[in-house]
Structure formats: structure tokens, C-alpha cells
């Protein structure tokens, strides 16, 4: 089975530390995450990564899903040999099975920009009545709405740096989107690129996605680096998609994603911490997302 890189106690202690930093004014919202890992099965060959991805598409269809397979030499060089020269690194393969519901950036060939940050998650209910009640609870939750609003402001600021003055809009604020296992609170932020800028400029300006950092972005990234012990998140929290020759682009936020390699399967999960957060509830939300 999967094991978290950090225990429940360590994760909730991190949240208590975030509360201190929020009270000190160091941040408004911090997206704390952890990694879950499962070793490869011993008694049988591991399942095909493509089969895993196709299973994810069936049980949890998502609008920004993707499958990538890499069979490349290891990116990290081998340690120096006895004579002082580096040896060639061993080869390795891995696959990214992404079932993301979140759009980071869409840039049209006409320079239009759209971002759809997600903040706020609630599990589906076992009956139609409970399912509708869960969606309404999410829609009216002060804590989830606060999380979402702060990230909307962050995205507006990111887009405002590369879009024409006055073009940044929020046509949808905190709409409910429903998926196979969860309801999500999703906002839509749009704008029009400034003359002389393109999709690469937009991605560079807005990366990393604000929904995976918190706000303000620069100081909050420093806090995340400290609490997550400087361990890279890998592809998780990043973005994948395409850049087209006509200037268009569509990029997701890499969440709900399994990375499969000879070492097993890993995935990341986390959530935004604000002053209204409950450490125990945040841990349970991480388990729901994982």
C-alpha cells in the first residue's frame, strides 16, 4: 500500500507552524503537500503504466488528463569513480499518469488568456441528497471561499503583469465543478496578452501555479521549502501541456498524478492552509485527494 513521506503527526505539526507564520503576517495562505509512495509488487510484475492511466480515465475522467512515458538515461550523474572521473549514469524509465481537473493557463492564438484555479474540495456523497448537500456545503464554506479568493487575487496579479491594463476579468468566481470522486470550487480568470508578449512569457510569469503555492507567492515558496525540508515535489505541482506554432497553448496543473518507475508508484497531495483550517480536517482532505 501507499505510505506518506510524512506522518499524520508531522503533517499536522507543520500546519501548527503555518498558523504561527500566518499570525505573524508572513503569509496569507500556504499550500502544504506530502508525497505518497508504494513499492513495486514482489509477487507479480508491476502493472503497465498505460493500463493504470486508462483505468484512471475510466474511474476519474478529467479534462486536463495526460500520459507521458520517458525511457531516458537518468538525469542525475553518477558519483565520481575512484580515478576522479564521472561514470555514465544508469538508464531508467518512468511514466506520468495525470488525471488533472485544473487548468493552469490557456493562451489563444489571438492572445486571450484563461486560468482556472481550484481551491476547495469536498468528497462526493453516497446518495443524491447527500451529494447535493456536500456541494452546497463547499459552495458556502467560509474557509474554502477564503482560500479560493486569495488565489484568485494572486492569479489576477500574475496575469496583470503580462496582460493589457484593464483586460483582466473574473467571469466565474467560485463555481462548483463535479468529478467522479470530489466536488471542486473553481474560479475563472481571463485577460488579453500585452502586445509583444506570447504564451512562453505568460507561462514564465505565472509559474508556478498559484493554487499550488499560496500567497504571497515568493515568501510562501520560502515557507514551503522550509516545511517540506527542501525536497523537490517533482512533476507534481508543475504543469504539462502544449505550445503551438500559431501561438496557442494549453497547460494544466499537475495534480491527481501518479509517477510510475522501477522504484514503484509515487503521488503528491496537499491542501491550502489558512487561519480557519483544522489540522485534522486538512489531513483527511489530503487522504481524499490521494
As a dihedral over the C-alpha atoms of residue 241, residue 168, residue 192, residue 254, rounded to 10 degrees, the angle is: 0
Whether 131 and 124 have beta carbons less than 8 Å apart is answered as yes
For CA atoms 176, 151, 157, 230, the dihedral sign is negative
Name the one residue in this structure whose C-alpha cell is 506570447: 198
**Which of 71, 179, 65 has its CA nearest to residue 121?**
179
**Which of 275, 273, 159 has its CA nearest to residue 220?**
273
Whether 15 and 279 have beta carbons less than 8 Å apart is answered as yes
Active site members = 102, 119
CA-to-CA dists, residue 82 to 85, 154, 175, 186, angstroms = 7, 51, 60, 55
Helix, strand, or coil (residue 83): coil
Residues 290 and 284: their CA atoms lie apart, in Å, by 10
**Which of 99, 78, 100 has its CA nearest to residue 89?**
78
Residues 121 and 15: their CA atoms lie apart, in Å, by 18
Amino acid at each position: 500500500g501507499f505510505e506518506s513521506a510524512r506522518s499524520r503527526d508531522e503533517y499536522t505539526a507543520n500546519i501548527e507552524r503555518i498558523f504561527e507564520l500566518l499570525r505573524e503576517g508572513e503569509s496569507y495562505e500556504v499550500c502544504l503537500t506530502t508525497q505518497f509512495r508504494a513499492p513495486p509488487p514482489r509477487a507479480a510484475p508491476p502493472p503497465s503504466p498505460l493500463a493504470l492511466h486508462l483505468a484512471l480515465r475510466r474511474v476519474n475522467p478529467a479534462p486536463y488528463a495526460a500520459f507521458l512515458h520517458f525511457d531516458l538515461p537518468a538525469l542525475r550523474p553518477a558519483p565520481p569513480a575512484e580515478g576522479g572521473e564521472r561514470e555514465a549514469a544508469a538508464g531508467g524509465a518512468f511514466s506520468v499518469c495525470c488525471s488533472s481537473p485544473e487548468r493552469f493557463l490557456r493562451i489563444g492564438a489571438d492572445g486571450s488568456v484563461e486560468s482556472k484555479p481550484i481551491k476547495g474540495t469536498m468528497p462526493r456523497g453516497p446518495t443524491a441528497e447527500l451529494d447535493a448537500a456536500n456541494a452546497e456545503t463547499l459552495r458556502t464554506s467560509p474557509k474554502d471561499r477564503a482560500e479560493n479568493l486569495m488565489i484568485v487575487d494572486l492569479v489576477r496579479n500574475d496575469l496583470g503583469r503580462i496582460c493589457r491594463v484593464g483586460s483582466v476579468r473574473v467571469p466565474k468566481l467560485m463555481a462548483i465543478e463535479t468529478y467522479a470522486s470530489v466536488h471542486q470550487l473553481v474560479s475563472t480568470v481571463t485577460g488579453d496578452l500585452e502586445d509583444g508578449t506570447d504564451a512562453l512569457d505568460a507561462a514564465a510569469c505565472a509559474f508556478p501555479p498559484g493554487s499550488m503555492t499560496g500567497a504571497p507567492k515568493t515568501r510562501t515558496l520560502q515557507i514551503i521549502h522550509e516545511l517540506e525540508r527542501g525536497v523537490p515535489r517533482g512533476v507534481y505541482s508543475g504543469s504539462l501541456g502544449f505550445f503551438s506554432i500559431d501561438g496557442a497553448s494549453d497547460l494544466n496543473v499537475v495534480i491527481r498524478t501518479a509517477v510510475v518507475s522501477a522504484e514503484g508508484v509515487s503521488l503528491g497531495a496537499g491542501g491550502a492552509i489558512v487561519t480557519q483550517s483544522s489540522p485534522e480536517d486538512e489531513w483527511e482532505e489530503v487522504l481524499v485527494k490521494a
